[in-house]
Amino acid sequence: MTATTMGLMEPLTVGQVAETCGVTVRTLHHYDQIGLLRPSERSHAGYRLYTAADLERLQHVVVYRRLGFPLEEVAELLADVEARGSEAAAEHLRRQRAAVMTRLDEMRDLVRAIDNALERTMTKKPATTEDLKEIFGTAWDEHEGYQAEAEQRWGDTPQWRQGQERNASLTREDWARIKTDTDALERDLVAAVAAGEPADGDLAAELAERHRAGVEVHYDCPHAFQVRLAEMYLADPRFTQHYEDLHPGLAQWLHDAIVTNAARHDA
């Protein structure tokens, strides 16, 4: 409703104002009681009637309330308009517009933040088997073939249960990062063995801790349990062959590095 339209209309009852302006009758009665917006006229039957000037005042009240101003401050602002006339009214309208534009900018920022959060949430979907095969290639097929045997060996351990829970929630991006970290660790292990680094040295201890951190992505891995994994690297020909294919002697070196590092932590 424009100011021109309001200037031409007949006074409205409380119900008509509520329907026209989108405020409740209860709110209008409250504004009347506290003196914020009193209807200027009454009908012959004594009903409150709101004039065009009243509705213009209501317009200011509604805007300021939507902007979060308390009623006391709204009353002060409107009193200023009444005291200073059209100059103050224009000033307040400009202030309202600036406040609304600021709020719009905030809302746009909020929408962008929500969109970004939604995008992150949508990309947090657990990885599918197809995703894992694409990331790990034939190594994932070997892993799947080993699962039944691994469950039989480790199924009664807390680590197995943790692994099932954590792995089920890992996303494609998580698995890609795991693959990158694993490849980097194995390159550094190969470099250490090739350089003749001792399995009981500081670099070996650092690499053993990186190995343990990689395992703990899937389940808790105290040093004693990591030693059990290291023993398997020598006892199971499949694991031994994996590390020997990377560099001759690597399976034994990694085993010794893990065992020595665990002893350091137990001391």
pTM for the predicted model, two decimal places: 0.52
Per-residue pLDDT of the chain (267 residues; tens, 9 = 90+): 444 444 446 889 999 999 888 899 999 999 999 999 999 998 888 888 999 989 988 988 888 888 778 888 888 888 877 777 767 767 777 887 887 788 788 888 777 877 766 666 666 677 677 877 777 776 666 666 566 677 777 778 888 888 888 888 888 888 889 889 999 999 999 999 999 999 999 999 999 999 999 999 998 999 999 999 999 999 999 889 999 999 999 999 999 999 999 999 985
Q: What is the DSSP string of the chain?
A: --HHHHHHSPPB-HHHHHHHHT--HHHHHHHHHTTSS--SEE-TT--EEB-HHHHHHHHHHHHHHHTT--HHHHHHHHHHHHHHTHHHHHHHHHHHHHHHHHHHHHHHHHHHHHHHHHHHHHTTPBPPHHHHHHHHTHHHHHHHHHHHHHHHHHTTSHHHHHHHHHHHH-BHHHHHHHHHHHHHHHHHHHHHHHTT--TTSHHHHHHHHHHHHHHHTTS---HHHHHHHHHHHHHSHHHHHHHHHHSTTHHHHHHHHHHHHHHHHH-
